[in-house]
Structure 1
Amino acid sequence: MKDYGQGDISLNLLVDRMLDGFWLVNKHGVILDVNEQYLSLTGYSKEEVVGHLIEDFELFESNQDTNDRIAKITEFGSVRFESKHVTKSGAVVDVEVMASAVPNNKGLFFGLIRDIRVRKEYEAKLLLTNNIINQASDGILVTDSSGNIEYVNQSFTNITGYQSDEVIGKTPAVLSSGMQSASFYDQMWASLEKKGAWAGEVWNKKKTGEIYPEWLTINSLKSGKKTSHYIANFNDLSESKRLTNQQEFLEFHDQLTGIANLKLFNQRLSIAQMLYEKQNVPYVIIMLDVSRFKTVNDALGHAAGDHILKEIAKRLTKRIRLSDTLARFSGNQFVILMSEQNVPQNIDKICQNIAAYFDEPFYFGTQNIKLSVNIGAAIFPEHSKEHNDILAYAEMAMYHAKKQQYDYIQLFNNQIKQALSTRNKLEEGLKTAIKRDQLTVYFQPQVNSATNEVFAIECLLRWQHPELGSISPDTFIPIAEESGLICEIGDWVMEQALTHFRQWLLGNIFDGTVAVNVSLAQFLNPNYLIGLRNLLSKTLVAANKVEIEVTESLFSNQDADHLAILKELNLIGFPIAIDDFGTGYSSLHRIKMMPVNTIKIDKCFIDNIETDVSDQTIVQAVVNIAKSIGLNVLAEGVETQGQVNKLAEFGCYYCQGYFYAKPQPIDTFPNWLAEFKNKSV
């Protein structure tokens, strides 16, 4: 250590024994002296330091920096700054330097160099902690033991709108919404005293005055046995509650129309049931089916259909009472629940009013759309004392109304109930009809009136029920289609038709064409074509000998899969015929684009063809247009010679009907055909 003189012995001792490092520097930045503490800090020997420049040891110090600092010390007496010194091993040490001029000795300066690595580590951790707290999504608030706010983080500001300087020194009461009672806060403080923590949902107020829900957690911080601080963290539940409410809404409401779905409807129905049990209040269920909706969907697209459904829901919602429940039952069907003493006696008027809501047209863009509605209704307990029956009864009544006409209203009655019972019995019977040999096939000839030859036969299904007797196909075929039994029955009919036709081919009895009806439901079976090919191989019947008859309604369906199957059938060799033409939605223009060979004009156009000018005009037009696009035409339900003659005038020679023959049982058809041939000769 440099000798500072006899009078500076105490100073020498102080420099040697101080905890901080020491430099003595001249005005050129050359180190003149250094103490042991600095040498210990950096690992250098005294000889390696003395005589060197400051910049040799300070990581970022330049000669200009040194001159600037010396100038400041000369002007102000001292400076304090942080720096980084490089040790002998190459490590970097964070230091704080306090530099001053040596009194009464111009041109000399000393620096006290303190190791601040521990402090820097602490500051870094503190900065990291502070950043983490400020980056936290939860709002954080710290108060002293008296509840005065000492600290808030950035999320506190983001949530409440208050800046830190607006709340520090105040109490959390600045956030109070007034929605919690005094007893609420008493319980909160009791929990903090006893457990040192509390958590729960509270409603607080933002700077804007907006009331919002938050989940709040408070912990007490102890200093010894006493509480020194309270730390609260909270998060805004507004969005969570909005999403929860939205999820609950979607769970109980139809997503398209926003009205109740069946889940909510059934809950309201349960309430109506309890209301009856406790207060004897009856209720009514009204079921609505919007007519012509499918036509709108097909013609204008699903966007138009969705728009119309939403408009229907709005119109009905405005007309019913707040105590009533309107729900979407299915695609174009709605259901209304009304519970009140006087509703049953006014049910007719209520249904008429609902039907009147559809008198005004609906609009989609510039399109003016006229719809109608069929309505069914059932009353509890008038129609049943079993709650589970009423919804089903209303639906039955609605379907009965659909069979009548547009804008038809049907209140449930015993006749409908009996019809349902019969239908259920028929469905159960159909399940075993094949195994019990109750189904049989008949064949009705198709005759060319110009040559009086039977060129084809149509296979028709008959059912002899053991209790109900002979059941019309018009009755049991729709039941088979609705229940899904039609695929099994249809496959059985096709096999019967081809088996007997093959026998007649081999016996030289009949070598024309056999026509078999196929349901749309069979087309939906992915294995239908495979099964049909296998049956051709099994019976050795050529595809061009089997005409596939489909109803006209199939052509109203835009499903490309149906068209693909028709084309595939045509490619295999099957001729395709449209049955009951004129009663559905198809048109000759659409049929022109389909793989069709024959159209069969429905009996309703033939019945009065001898005298009805309209029927004559329609049939003549159909025949002319069909022939112009290469289609065959066959008239169904021909019963008189006059009808045969009139059809011949229009160029339609293919006829089928009682005039020639009723459908023939399998065992009598060969004899009938032989007799017919003999008469023709």
Structure 2
Amino acid sequence: MQASDSLAVITEPAIETNSVSDGDSARGNMILVRLGRLAVSALFILLVTGLDVFVVTGHHMDSLYLLSLLFVMKSKDRADLFIVSTGVTLLGVSGALLKDGTAGHGVEWPYLATAVAVVWVVAVSIAIFKETLWTQDAILENIADGIVMLNDSLRIVRFNKSAEQIFGYDRNELKGAPFNVLLSEPEKQTVSQMLGDLILAGGSGKYLKTEVSGRRGDGSVFPLQLSVRAARVRGRRRYYAVLNDLTGQRETNEKLWKLSNAVEQSSAATIITDLSGRIEYVNRRFCELSGYEPDDVLGQNTRILRSDDPQNQNGPNIWQTINNGESWRGEFHNRKKNGEYYWVEAAISPIKKDGRITHFMSVQEDISVRKEYEAQLERQANYDDLTGFPNRLMAMERLGQALEIRNSQQTNVAVMIVDLDQFNAVNDTLGHHSGDLLIRETAFRIKQTLDKTATLARLGGDEFLVILPAINTAKLADKVASRILEAIEAPFVIDEQEIYVTASIGVSIAPDDGTDAHSLLKNADAALFLAKKDGRNTYRFFKAHMNEAALQRLEMVTKLRKAIANDELSVHYQPLFDIATGNLVTLEALIRWNHPKEGWIAPDQFIPVAEETGLIKDIGDQVLRRACADVKEIMYRLQRPVKVAVNISARQFKDGHFDEKVLGIIASQGIVPEYLELEITERLLMLDDPETAGILRRLAKAGVSLSIDDFGTGYSSLSYLKRYPFDVLKIDRAFVKDVTHDSQSAALVSAIIAMAQSLDLKVIAEGVEEEGQLAHLKKHGCDIAQGFLLGRPMSVADLTAKIHQWQMVELEAPVA
């Protein structure tokens, strides 16, 4: 029979009801003895055989006793049912005894009650014991840890379900197998030694805990945590091995390690806070960026990092967003531990566990350099680099705002254009550095005359814009203009040199002179032109009937810009001849403008405008390029060399890298430098500038001829002729025209020629229009003559037609 469904039968000799004992006491004692033997027998059967049901039988028991047997059932699932069924059985036994007549033969009920109680106690003890065994068994089978019971020979006695899952064995396969079958080969000897030490230690309570490599049934090896504890079970020593598969834990730990190190070593600063914003973690990059150590900030609120910048007032929006479980992105202006400020771009996200927000994480990138660059770009876009005041773009924005206020408040807005008088002469004479210092100081002086509501901007060059918003009368503009002129009239000290300059101012008033920025600026510029025409160092208000010359100038600038863009400008050439031989030696390139509607426009009408506006730089580059190309074509047609002379503006020369530009044009047109002559004005030489000297020397070294133009009319200094590598000196027409009837002019021209020859310089006389002038020049040894007497400026086509009439002088250098 199986233990689970068998009945254990305890048979006692039948109690003979007809027998008469010697006394009631003896009979009671006999009953107690029989009941005791019955209880002991039942307990023995249960403990030894593990049977769950016992039956007490007697051949004189009646139906009540048999009925009680039906209640004695398996107690594995219900200990309380076992107790009840045992009680019913005892009642059956009692009934049987009574029915048998034992009680009627003088057995006292106390004896019977005592017997019943003894059996009852034994039954309850058995039930509790069985319940305990079942509970322990259930725990062992359902625990997540693998449990293996070993005997004192370290062989497997028991193997729970989790151990089966860990190792891939059926428990019956390993029953009686040595424990080290569960270990990898390298671990067997080490673990066996450790277990041996555990056995030698003896006694319960001793244990071993270590990590080893386990071996599954399929041969695979995996990390295993092993804990072995000694214990005594029913008087025998047993060893319980608790086994945990560390594969998942190792993988999790590896992921956590990677994640932790990724965060710790990230190039982004990372902060983790609790729900109230208290800092619980910061990584290394945060410490590098902020200067704080972890101990400085852990437990502190993130507010300690914020600067007082108004741009940081976005806290409510942040908390609302992240508390709703969403991420927030934005910028913070923070303060370092040492008080320095820095910018970060932050992404703040909630950290959730089981759908509930537990922490917040902020990942921050240092954007201080980017913010500085953005601020620099914004400043460059809106402010003048030299003065630090608003530029034209910002000025237009401010003027637009002032006009909007005027429309709502019905007030006036004054617009002033302030322009320094003859600044170009100062700039060209003293150099750009001194010119920049003068501009900066001028801006400072103008600002000192204005109140806080006014705007001062630099439009460019030496031109400033003043905006007076919300004025009630034009008289205020009158007073401000007077103060500005007075401030500028005072001497400037630039590089320890005292400089005197003046300014002219044009004023327009909104709404009388215009209601938009463009009209107001145009009309103020027209008024400025009138102020300059009226002698400079003054101011003028715009009037509707103002002199048309101002408007014509504005139109001239516009037309000249279009002429440059549409290639309306052309180059004509005037011949220069050797006075002694009459041979053609040079062609001077001169700019001409043939307007498509107005025809030829005289150079003295547009060249001053080009100088003022800076357009002369573009025009000069066009002339230089065209001249080099034309002279190459002319030499090709004549099969003889000829020089071309080009006038160079001071602005063009000071534009930077001028020598490189010239040599680049020469190379691109395919001529040699010896066929180019550059005419330099004396004004350019006023400043003893190493940069100017270096450019001229590099050009001369490359083979370009240099001539000093209009000698004697400017700031003539004989030291220029020694200091700079000139080849040619040109006498201005103002001296040449009077040599035949003015003895002083004649003497001066003769002295210039003699001086130049002594310095080994060739001399060119400009403006030769009479035979007497030419004779005088030839008599005193002048080398070259130029003027209407010898040839007017002409186009390339006309020049080609006439040039065959002239004898050419062959130069040493060949055509490239």
Q: What TM-score results when the alignment is normalised by the length of structure 2?
A: 0.54
| SS of corresponding position for 1:98 | strand
* Cα distance change on mapping 1:265 and 1:480 into 2, 3 Å: closer
* Cα distance change on mapping 1:95 and 1:101 into 2, 3 Å: same
Equivalent pair of 1:592/1:629 in contact (CA under 8 Å):
no
> Structure 2: which amino acid aligns with 1:293?
N
Identical aligned pairs, as a percentage? Answer: 19
* Cα distance change on mapping 1:102 and 1:445 into 2, 3 Å: closer
Equivalent pair of 1:580/1:602 in contact (CA under 8 Å):
no
* Cα distance change on mapping 1:21 and 1:627 into 2, 3 Å: farther
Equivalent pair of 2:415/2:467 in contact (CA under 8 Å):
yes
Cα offset for 1:275?
Answer: 3.5
- What is the match of residue 77 of structure 1? 206
Cα offset for 1:285?
Answer: 2.3
Cα offset for 1:372?
Answer: 4.5
Cα offset for 1:266?
Answer: 0.9
Cα offset for 1:261?
Answer: 2.5
Deviation string 1:265-303 (CA, Å, 9 cap, x unpaired) is 1101112222433332231223345543355556x7xxx
| SS of corresponding position for 1:377 | strand
Equivalent pair of 2:678/2:705 in contact (CA under 8 Å):
no
Equivalent pair of 2:526/2:550 in contact (CA under 8 Å):
no
CA distance in 1, matches of 2:202, 2:768: 126
Equivalent pair of 2:595/2:601 in contact (CA under 8 Å):
yes
CA distance in 1, matches of 2:349, 2:649: 74
* Cα distance change on mapping 1:650 and 1:186 into 2, 3 Å: closer
How do residues 215-230 of structure 1 correspond to structure 2 at under 5 angstroms?
229=357
> Structure 2: which amino acid aligns with 1:418?
A
> Structure 2: which amino acid aligns with 1:22?
V
Residue 418 of structure 2 is aligned with which of 277, 280, 287? Answer: 287
> Structure 2: which amino acid aligns with 1:114?
N
Query: Does residue 454 of structure 2 align to residue 324 of structure 1?
Result: yes
| SS of corresponding position for 2:641 | helix
* Unmatched segments (≥5 aa) in structure 2: 1-46, 51-129, 687-691, 707-726, 800-816
> Structure 2: which amino acid aligns with 1:270?
G
| SS of corresponding position for 1:111 | strand
Equivalent pair of 1:16/1:36 in contact (CA under 8 Å):
no
Query: Does residue 488 of structure 2 align to residue 355 of structure 1?
Result: yes
* Cα distance change on mapping 1:649 and 1:100 into 2, 3 Å: same
> Structure 2: which amino acid aligns with 1:380?
I
* Cα distance change on mapping 1:237 and 1:279 into 2, 3 Å: farther
> Structure 1: which amino acid aligns with 2:229?
S
Deviation string 1:604-624 (CA, Å, 9 cap, x unpaired) is 44466776979956x556534
Deviation string 1:221-243 (CA, Å, 9 cap, x unpaired) is 697xxx95454444669957955
Residue 383 of structure 2 is aligned with which of 253, 257, 263? Answer: 253
Query: Does residue 647 of structure 2 align to residue 550 of structure 1?
Result: yes
Query: Does residue 152 of structure 2 align to residue 22 of structure 1?
Result: no
> Structure 1: which amino acid aligns with 2:418?
M
How do residues 62-211 of structure 1 correspond to structure 2 at under 5 angstroms?
77-103=206-232, 110-121=240-251, 137=269, 139-143=271-275, 152-154=280-282
* Cα distance change on mapping 1:580 and 1:254 into 2, 3 Å: closer
Residue 602 of structure 1 is aligned with which of 732, 745, 752? Answer: 732
Equivalent pair of 1:222/1:228 in contact (CA under 8 Å):
yes
Query: Does residue 638 of structure 2 align to residue 541 of structure 1?
Result: yes
CA distance in 2, matches of 1:108, 1:438: 114
- What is the match of residue 506 of structure 1? none
Query: Does residue 479 of structure 2 align to residue 346 of structure 1?
Result: yes
> Structure 1: which amino acid aligns with 2:427?
F
Cα offset for 1:352?
Answer: 1.6
Deviation string 1:382-413 (CA, Å, 9 cap, x unpaired) is 983253133345556667888999x8556466
Equivalent pair of 1:447/1:453 in contact (CA under 8 Å):
yes
* Unmatched segments (≥5 aa) in structure 1: 1-5, 488-517, 670-681
Cα offset for 1:602?
Answer: 1.6
Deviation string 1:17-62 (CA, Å, 9 cap, x unpaired) is 5752326487xxx844464345663357647635779784648957
Equivalent pair of 1:214/1:234 in contact (CA under 8 Å):
no
Residue 276 of structure 1 is aligned with which of 403, 406, 413? Answer: 406
CA distance in 2, matches of 1:543, 1:521: 26
Query: Does residue 397 of structure 2 align to residue 267 of structure 1?
Result: yes
Query: Does residue 159 of structure 2 align to residue 41 of structure 1?
Result: no
* Cα distance change on mapping 1:576 and 1:216 into 2, 3 Å: closer
CA distance in 2, matches of 1:481, 1:127: 72
How do residues 552-567 of structure 1 correspond to structure 2 at under 5 angstroms?
553=650, 559=658, 560-565=660-665
* Cα distance change on mapping 1:40 and 1:519 into 2, 3 Å: closer
Aligned residues: 600
- What is the match of residue 672 of structure 1? none
Cα offset for 1:349?
Answer: 1.9
Equivalent pair of 1:199/1:217 in contact (CA under 8 Å):
yes
Equivalent pair of 1:444/1:457 in contact (CA under 8 Å):
yes
- What is the match of residue 378 of structure 1? 507
Bigger radius of gyration: 2
> Structure 1: which amino acid aligns with 2:282?
Q
CA distance in 2, matches of 1:305, 1:426: 24
Q: Which moved more, 1:41-50 or 1:320-329?
A: 41-50
Q: Which moved more, 1:212-221 or 1:322-331?
A: 212-221
Equivalent pair of 1:25/1:33 in contact (CA under 8 Å):
yes
- What is the match of residue 507 of structure 1? none
How do residues 430-509 of structure 1 correspond to structure 2 at under 5 angstroms?
448=579, 472-476=602-606
Equivalent pair of 1:21/1:34 in contact (CA under 8 Å):
no
Residue 521 of structure 1 is aligned with which of 611, 618, 621? Answer: 621
CA distance in 2, matches of 1:575, 1:257: 43
Q: Which moved more, 1:461-470 or 1:590-599?
A: 461-470
Cα offset for 1:345?
Answer: 1.1
CA distance in 1, matches of 2:546, 2:385: 37
CA distance in 1, matches of 2:480, 2:428: 28
* Cα distance change on mapping 1:165 and 1:528 into 2, 3 Å: closer
* Cα distance change on mapping 1:613 and 1:208 into 2, 3 Å: same
| SS of corresponding position for 1:112 | strand
* Cα distance change on mapping 1:465 and 1:208 into 2, 3 Å: closer
CA distance in 1, matches of 2:366, 2:467: 34
> Structure 1: which amino acid aligns with 2:159?
E
Q: What TM-score results when the alignment is normalised by the length of structure 1?
A: 0.63
Cα offset for 1:217?
Answer: 6.0
| Aligned residues: CA RMSD | 6.4
CA distance in 2, matches of 1:190, 1:120: 39
CA distance in 2, matches of 1:307, 1:431: 33
| SS of corresponding position for 2:555 | helix
CA distance in 1, matches of 2:483, 2:756: 48
CA distance in 1, matches of 2:572, 2:308: 83
Deviation string 1:531-560 (CA, Å, 9 cap, x unpaired) is 6545665xx334535744535756666512
Cα offset for 1:346?
Answer: 1.8
CA distance in 2, matches of 1:637, 1:579: 16
Deviation string 1:416-436 (CA, Å, 9 cap, x unpaired) is 64243267379759989xx9x
Deviation string 1:108-164 (CA, Å, 9 cap, x unpaired) is 854322334445555555666666676675544344xxx697x84426986996969
CA distance in 1, matches of 2:202, 2:468: 94
Equivalent pair of 2:731/2:764 in contact (CA under 8 Å):
yes
* Cα distance change on mapping 1:380 and 1:113 into 2, 3 Å: same
